[in-house]
Each structure stands twice: as structure tokens, then as C-alpha cells.
Structure 1
């Protein structure tokens, strides 16, 4: 089933799973904080999509999905012309994580979800063949490994200001000492606050934020050179090295598989 990003039933269907393709017609469309009776996988088929729950932010990259359990408040934002797929899972239909996370989506699982989105009659109980497909899909989803594309986002006023500044200007290379001066606190106090609120050191947290920003920008169609400049790297090579160390492959191979692999690294 295909729906508008801003106008669709958040708890559709009579079956254990329901898949919806959603198109974005305006730039940076966002759904405010809400929840569903069903759990929800969110896949970005093209373009860029972010998802936030209180205290955490995800960028949804290719080959991955965000899992939002039932009754968990969340908001989503998609860029212009994004192609998104939502997969709703009824409570108790599968043994899935109790807390939000990102999971890897294999090509087979992706095709199964897209087949349901294109062929499923949301208003009718699935026939025997589609019902078997749903059960296989649920079994596969239970086995999907988790990934590391989330970022703790503190609501503490001091840290919230840092988050907003770095999100708007990811090239900012201010040191922890400089941030402490801006926050009118000691470096040690700020370091402890960041660890307490995020579970990460400042350096690791900032790098994770840059990875998420780079994923979003690359998904929007920016070149590696543009993203490298936006993030303040001294060279494209330095950015590619960071990206490969974090994700195990280069930006070009990550986003463009097969014949197009590596073209965006240039």
C-alpha cells in the first residue's frame, strides 16, 4: 500500500504485519511525537530519514531500519522526494527488541517487505500464501542483527546547546576546554556530565554525530567531497578513512553497491 507521509493510518490492517510505502512531497516533512499500538520498522528506500525518541536519535541508512516498539513515543523527518517504507507489526506477532534500535535488513527481507507493500490488501485478511510469507518475514526479522547508528541526545540545557550547535555546524572543531568555557563550567565537570548523560566521551559522541550527519547528507545526494568539507575534514581522504574505520567500508561502496561501487569516493 502507498500513502502520503503526512496522511496514513498509523495502525492499519487486520494481519500480523502491514507494509506501507510512503512518499514525501515537501522538503523536510516531519511527523511530531506520537506512538502506535503496533510496533514499527522504518526503512529509507531513497533519500534521508531520521527518527527520534526522547533521549535518542537515529539516521536511517540503506540496508538498515529503525525498530520502534509499540506505544513508544517517536518522531520522524524525511527529506524531499524520500521514499520510505513502514512495516507495522502487531503486538505479540514476533519476539522483537523491547527498546528502539536499528537493525540490519538483508536484501531478501527488503524485497519481502516491498512485495507486501505493493501487493497487500490492508483491509482484508491475508490469503494462505501471503500469510506464509508474513510468517517467514517475521522469523527473519527476529534474527536481524542490531547496528550502531543511534546517538544519545541529552535534554540537559548545557548539552542541548552543544547538540544544536554541532548539528547546525558539524565543522565546529572546538575542544572540550572551549565548550566548557562556553558552558561556564570546568572541563572536568563538563566531561563527567557528557559521560553521565550519553554514556560516551565527548570525542566519541561528536564522532558518532558526524557519522550520522554524513549518512544523511550522502543519502541526500551530496558528494563525498561536499560532505567532507561540511564536516570540516582537512581532506577527503581523512573523511573516507574515518568513515571506513567506523562502518567498515567507504562511503561509495556503502551507498552504491554493484557496478556503481566506489564511484562516489572520487
Structure 2
């Protein structure tokens, strides 16, 4: 598995499913300017993926999750998923045996990382791979599992439809998010009536077309802002008439304007990285 363990050189990467411990935690640090993509795969152990720097997205059947800094995603064991990131990425992966995952979500979801969860993930990543069971190291792992169960659920989730016509529509929106075509326009492009499109997208995503497109734009905005794009460039790339209208939407969805939101994330990043 292409996971960078801070305690081991790349030639010693280890498949966490092969490690006979209930919880296996790796640190990862990818310094890249281009994009990084891990194609669809699965593992028997469940996975908690926490990011400290950078933004990554994870797609499973039926959903796309965004993981900004100081957030995490929970992926139940056996779930087919892909991971995409760009720029610098730093974070931690914990792989959990289903036998000890009682009380953890049965479905993929995003989590807001508490300060204690971050510290426990970092500490667990420095345990020996085959840590001693039944002592202090096992107690640390138990506490980590308890804190995972208490982590608040996040909201940066984009339901993905299964219908082939809707998937083609989704691909078009993601390829050109600045396209300001109306629902009627997209329905015509997809060979459907506006009413059929509305019914299908509501049934398969639980959202209206407008709400789904707004959520997509929020997720793309966070990715672009994390890569250093200006608010104006993000607004232009998403098809907003002005930076002000983009900021208004962003504040409405995430509770703070883009600059303040990203500054808060960066501050949390510095605090988490401080010795």
C-alpha cells in the first residue's frame, strides 16, 4: 500500500492487514506539487484517515468525501474507495480490526478531529509495529478507539448518484464547475425532462440539484484555497459573478468567510504541529 510511514523507509511499507494487532497506525507525509491518486482498493481493517496539512478527497460507491486539514474520514473495512490529493499532504492513518470497532460508524463518514484525537493518532503512530499487548501501549490504543467514537460527524460529503445519466452530468459539472447552466439546461444535455432530473437527483442523493451543485462548489473551493488560490480565482473558477457572491455562499454553508475559515484551519494546524 502506498502509505509513507514516518518510522520506516518506503521499501519497508507494510500492509496493515498483515499486522497482527487490533489497531495499526501510520504517519504519512507526501511532498508533491502535482496530484496524487490512489485508485480504488479495499482492506479488511477499517481506516481512519486524518489530515494535518493539505486537502484530500475520498470516493466510495455512492459518495465523495472531502477531508480538509484537522479533519478525518472513517472508512469501514471492506469498502472500495479511492483517494486523491494535491500539493503537500501530512496526516495519519489508523487501521482498525472490525473485532474492536464496536460503536464506530457502519458507513463511510467524515469526522471533526478533536485535539485529543489528533494527539492520540500522533502518539500511536510512534508505537512499535508489534507493540506489546496488555500493557500501556494497549491502553493507548483503547483510548484512541474511545476518542474516535466521540468525534463529531463532519458535513463535507457529496452524495454520488448511481444512474448513468446523472453520473455523466456529475462528470460535466466537476470538469467545468464554472458552467452556470440552469437545471433545465443540464436536463436537456442529459436527455431528460427537468422534472425527471429533479426526481432522480433527489432520490439518489437526498438533495435538490441546486443544493448538490452548491455542495460540490464548496468542496472544490476548499481544495483550491488549500492549494493557495486567491478568493477571486476560486470565485471565477466556480462561475460566480463576483468574489462577494462566492464569499456570501461560503459563509452561509460553513459559517465563516473563506479567509477566516482557512486561517482557523491553519492555526489549528500550527497548534497541532507545535512541540
Same fold (TM over 0.5): yes
Q: Which moved more, 1:244-253 or 1:67-76?
A: 244-253
78-87 or 125-134: bigger deviation: 125-134
Q: Quote the residue 2:205 is aligned against.
A: 198
Q: Is the 8 A contact 1:15 1:125 kept in 2?
A: no
Structure 2 vs 1, CA of residues 129 and 254 (structure 1 numbering), >3 Å: closer, same or farther? farther
Residue 103 of structure 1 aligns to a residue whose secondary structure is: strand
Aligned partners of 1:259 and 1:160: how far apart in 2? 34
> Against the structure 1 CA distance between its residues 126 and 251, is the aligned structure 2 distance closer, same or farther, given a 3 Å change threshold?
farther
Partner SS, residue 179 of structure 2: coil
Partner of 2:230: 223
Residues 43, 66 of structure 1: 8 Å contact kept: yes
**CA displacement at 1:237 relative to structure 2:** 2.2
Deviation of residue 144 (structure 1)? 1.1
1:19-73 per-residue CA deviation (whole Å, 9 max, x = no partner) reads 2122335532222211111110112221221101111111111222110011111
2:166 aligned to 156, 159, 168, which one? 159
Q: Out of 232, 241, 250, which is 1:243 matched to?
A: 250
SS in 1 for 2:100: coil
> How far apart are residue 129 of structure 1 and its match?
2.5
Distance 1:166 1:10 in 2: 36
The aligned counterpart of 1:115 is: 123
The answer to whether the 8 A contact 1:180-1:187 is kept is yes
Question: CA–CA distance in 1 between the matches of 2:124 and 2:81?
Answer: 24
Question: Is the 1:51–1:74 Cα contact (8 Å) retained in structure 2?
Answer: yes
Matched, 1:52 2:59: yes
1:125-161 Cα distance to aligned partner (Å, 9 max, x none): 3572322222111111111121211111123221112
Alignment counterpart, residue 47 of structure 2, candidates 40, 54, 64 = 40
- The answer to whether the 8 A contact 2:250-2:257 is kept is yes
Determine the structure 2 residue equivalent to 1:28: 35
Structure 2, gaps ≥5 residues long: 269-275
Q: 1:11 aligns with which of 7, 12, 17?
A: 17
CA distance 1:259–1:66, change in 2 (3 Å): closer
Is the counterpart of residue 173 in structure 1 residue 189 in structure 2?
A: no
The answer to whether 1:74 aligns with 2:70 is no
Shift of 1:258: 8.6
Check whether the contact 2:30–2:90 (CA below 8 A) recurs between aligned residues. Answer: yes
Q: Which whole-Å CA distance do the structure 2 matches of 1:99 and 1:255 have between them?
A: 28
* Matched length: 258
Distance in 2 (CA, whole Å) between partners of 1:57 and 1:18 is: 25
Shifted more, 155-164 versus 197-206: the winner is: 155-164
TM-score (norm 2): 0.86
**Is the 2:70–2:265 Cα contact (8 Å) retained in structure 1?**
no
Aligned counterpart in structure 2 of residue 142 of structure 1, from 135, 145, 149: 149
